[in-house]
């Protein structure tokens, strides 16, 4: 089955800097890669996703890149703000979703 690894487990950046979170997956058949943001005491919220026929997708300050050959994908947040502080999860799926262990991002004002 699919195995998703996510790095780093914690990330601390200064406000205004960029943050990058990386994930690798094992099943080359996976074709859908969502990213979720989970704030304290809340459920994960889908923030961006990418399908395997696309190499990059951007939505304002958030972008995701996908390298199918290397089987890894990344979340990029530019111009970070304190409200970006949360736990971020990647996932990979073809029929079943498998989640990474999460990255706790802290943006220091």
Partner 1 sequence: SQTIHQWPATLVQPVGSPLSLECTVEGTSNPNLYWYRQAAGRGLQLLFYSVGIGQISSEVPQNLSASRPQDRQFILSSKKLLLSDSGFYLCAWSGQRIPQHFGDGTRLSIL
Residues that bind partner 1 (CB under 8 A): 4, 6, 9, 32, 34, 36, 41-46, 89, 93, 95-97, 99-102
99: tokens are 């989640």
Nearer to partner 1, 17 or 26 (CB): 26
> Is residue 47 a contact partner of residue 35, using CB atoms and an 8 Å limit?
yes
- The contacts of residue 70 (CB under 8 Å, 6+ apart) are 24
Nearer to partner 1, 56 or 96 (CB): 96
d(CA 73, CA 54): 11
- Nearest-approach distance from CB 97 to partner 1, in angstroms: 5
Nearer to partner 1, 57 or 78 (CB): 57
């Amino acid at each position: 089955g699919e195995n998703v690894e996510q790095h780093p487990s914690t990330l601390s950046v200064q406000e205004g800097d960029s943050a990058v979170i990386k994930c690798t997956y094992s099943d080359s058949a996976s074709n859908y890669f969502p990213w979720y943001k989970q704030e304290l005491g809340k459920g994960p919220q889908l923030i961006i996703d990418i399908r395997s026929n696309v190499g990059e997708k951007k939505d304002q300050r958030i972008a995701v890149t996908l390298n199918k050959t290397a089987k890894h994908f990344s979340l990029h947040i530019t111009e970070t703000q304190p409200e970006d502080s949360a736990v971020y999860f990647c996932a990979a799926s073809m029929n079943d979703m498998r989640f990474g262990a999460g990255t706790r991002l802290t943006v220091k004002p």
